[in-house]
With several copies, the nearest count.
Chain A
């Protein structure tokens, strides 16, 4: 099944929707605007009716796999159930229609919610303050590095390097570079943890921070985290926590206690705000006392029973986006935390770890498991063992799509060849985990019995494998009216 582009459904003489008239004497812009400021040619937006519009998006929606219908074990992304109550909460008129520039006396409910959310997040990760401004994880990374940068500068130090493990997510080095730092890579050891020796060799007074994920992107807990923290701090550098994997730790242990100075959280992972096909998310950042002065402004303060926005923060790095953060996502996350409570969050992380280990066990012998368990909330397997049949991680992924499952994250982390990164989360039933394990087995069997057929999968999805190379060689990034494209086509 396929669906035409909205532009292809368009008819030139479609009049458009019924809308209210201006009802005032003033002449239309067409008559009163100076000619040189006027638009010359109307944009080619589609001209279709509401029934066609709804049918169009209804069909597009049906082309997606999503948590609502499919197990979505996308490693590192924590695709857990998104509570429907959260959506109802965010849509309450008292939140949805609030203008960011209203007087604080009229937004006390919103400010209280943010203040309470900050407190809850502080408790979960073990920090002193949290900024809710960052829009996503990467934005949080950058925000934290900016604070660390400002901290060092405030102490008259110019530290221009940031250490990043070779297993790190791409946003880590990218955020560091965006912040003007030189990125120095730290190797992982054979056990999948950061090599303390290599770290030692790269730590010096030029280093502003070490960025770590714990559990790391292999789903393994950094056993020597306390030693690592001590080493880093000994050189005056800061320790940064990439919170993408926080779903493994709630109520079990806290980054703050491990010695991390700054911690970002992905509310769209650990705290169930939906991913929306690629956002919006929210990436709050928590910090210890000594980084607090550098928090983005405004902060939210409670002063004699009243909540207010504090803009007077002389050492602040300034705001990192407009207004106060992705408030709608903050409402969802706070609603989730209220419902779960401390006990619930702890059980969630325990269940996430249990599910990952259980599924890992079920896949032993089916795929390669390059590192020893136990794992935390996710694990990285390798399709290496199917290589002799010409089967790659990509083929395994496509085979799983064919069987009704979204695919695990593949080819990440980079240090594992043919990586297949599986994160089941705590909200998938044992029955689902078992069925998924069988599907992987089926794919592995097919890899041996009929690799060609596997190479052709998926066959029952809206499209088969798409030629991404050709797509990148001659990129077509937008629809163009037939006339314009005519010339271009090969």
Chain B
């Protein structure tokens, strides 16, 4: 059978060594009434047949050309350097466990240490952890940090936080027992003001001003940021944010129908002991050689159990590795270039869309990065028409916001070359 290693003879030898006649002699503790006759699943397939079946399922999906994908909403098509895949496919990385034994895990540990540094640099904050599941749970973890740190009972959420992140936050709040209120008016009950920047519609918030408001009320400021945008936009650390979180999918990860991606979290030095999850730190051996270890574990579930800062154990280490490779490949210039190309193309597209009949920019005056909301007549119908032309148009946001029933957000990245923009505009001009 695939992936099993014992020959019938091996099994006999091992059973004999145990003085057992059959496997049943080893399962004596299992009540007879519970023993299954057979596992009710189809019999196994050869690898050839398995892959044929899986390929069939993959073929049941329609993938749009990356050039012609203008839909984001938290997941974006971006150029992924071949280096990312080449590193992630190294079995020494992807078949290792959480690095509990540092002497035999320096590769993973150093890679995480580099990731922590990269995220800290990107967000402009002192410390970042080894990764979280995704952007949504990262927001929830940050909110809980604030609740514990301030001892206050509510978390305030500014408009247009990703609706799924908000939903997840509400779930954690219900469980943990704190309130979630929408608005930008903190009170003395407010543990944190959480805002996304750029927001779900793509619009850039004035981080400095929001931080000021939060701090004025004694609340923490939590920014949920787009990592690519930080090559151009003020970093949370620059405008006084206390905690920065976000989704790292754009840093070298494929959309993969929504996961696995990677959440990141960074904070000011004084909050470090409230951080959830793994932290890697520098250490030295008897000969003074530098190495890396999991550290400050007194925050974590395996040590503190119910008093831990979070329950997270397995995180998204390999996805964090992808992000590290991506950021290292790009460097400051590359990342800025990617961000700027995305920014300029999005603005070029916005300008052209605005000229189309029955299409208007929702907020012509507000600054945006590479995604922006557009109001268009029968938006759903027109988006469907685009699909028929092989174009994945903007994201209709009406499902989340009744007031935006006829609005879609369009985004551009380095993959949407000028010709692709023309194809989109052309298709919108001549619906057929």
| B41, B50, B313, B316: the one within 8 Å of A280 (CB) | B316
1/0 per residue, CB under 8 A from B, across A470-490: the answer is 111001111100000000000
Does A270 reach chain B (CB closer than 8 Å)?
Answer: no
Does A213 reach chain B (CB closer than 8 Å)?
Answer: no
Q: How far is the CA of A96 from the CA of B343 in the complex (A)?
A: 25
Report the minimum CB–CB distance from B151 to chain A (whole Å).
16
Interchain CB contact under 8 A, A19 and B86: no
Interchain CB contact under 8 A, B345 and A24: yes
| A28, A177, A321: the one within 8 Å of B306 (CB) | A177
In the complex with contacts A22-B340, A92-B58, A478-B120 CB distance below 8 A: yes
Report the minimum CB–CB distance from A168 to chain B (whole Å).
8
Q: How far is the CA of A66 from the CA of B300 in the complex (A)?
A: 24
Q: How far is the CA of A475 from the CA of B137 in the complex (A)?
A: 26
Report the minimum CB–CB distance from B334 to chain A (whole Å).
4
In the complex with contacts A83-B2, A344-B2, A471-B281, A38-B75 CB distance below 8 A: no
Interchain CB contact under 8 A, A463 and B285: yes
Interchain CB contact under 8 A, A54 and B235: no
Report the minimum CB–CB distance from B362 to chain A (whole Å).
18
Report the minimum CB–CB distance from A19 to chain B (whole Å).
5
Interchain CB contact under 8 A, A25 and B348: yes
Q: Which residue of B lies closest to A72 (CB)?
A: B97
In the complex with contacts A84-B86, A353-B27, A429-B10, A253-B35 CB distance below 8 A: yes
Q: How far is the CA of A353 from the CA of B334 in the complex (A)?
A: 28
Question: Which of B144, B177, B272, B418 has most A Cβ within 10 Å?
Answer: B418
Report the minimum CB–CB distance from B105 to chain A (whole Å).
6
Interchain CB contact under 8 A, B332 and A44: yes
Does B183 reach chain A (CB closer than 8 Å)?
Answer: no
In the complex with contacts A51-B5, A339-B44, A478-B116, A19-B314 CB distance below 8 A: no
**Contact partners of B50 in chain A: CB under 8 A:** 85, 335, 338-339
Does A74 reach chain B (CB closer than 8 Å)?
Answer: yes
**Contact partners of B379 in chain A: CB under 8 A:** none
| B34, B46, B286, B302: the one within 8 Å of A20 (CB) | B46
Interchain CB contact under 8 A, B57 and A5: no
Q: How far is the CA of A463 from the CA of B93 in the complex (A)?
A: 18
Q: Which residue of B lies closest to A119 (CB)?
A: B41
Does B186 reach chain A (CB closer than 8 Å)?
Answer: no
Interchain CB contact under 8 A, B131 and A279: yes
Does B77 reach chain A (CB closer than 8 Å)?
Answer: yes
| A66, A350, A406: the one within 8 Å of B91 (CB) | A66
In the complex with contacts A317-B171, A339-B2, A328-B345 CB distance below 8 A: no
1/0 per residue, CB under 8 A from A, across B314-338: the answer is 1111110100110111111111111
Q: How far is the CA of A145 from the CA of B306 in the complex (A)?
A: 14
In the complex with contacts A84-B86, A341-B45, A464-B256 CB distance below 8 A: no
Q: List 15 A-B pairs, Cβ < 8 Å.
A: A36-B206, A43-B332, A54-B83, A60-B111, A62-B107, A64-B96, A94-B59, A107-B62, A319-B171, A325-B259, A338-B45, A353-B27, A427-B5, A430-B10, A466-B103
In the complex, besides A19-B414, A221-B30, 7 extra interface pairs with C-beta distance below 8 angstroms are A101-B73, A102-B64, A276-B319, A279-B315, A322-B261, A354-B11, A407-B100
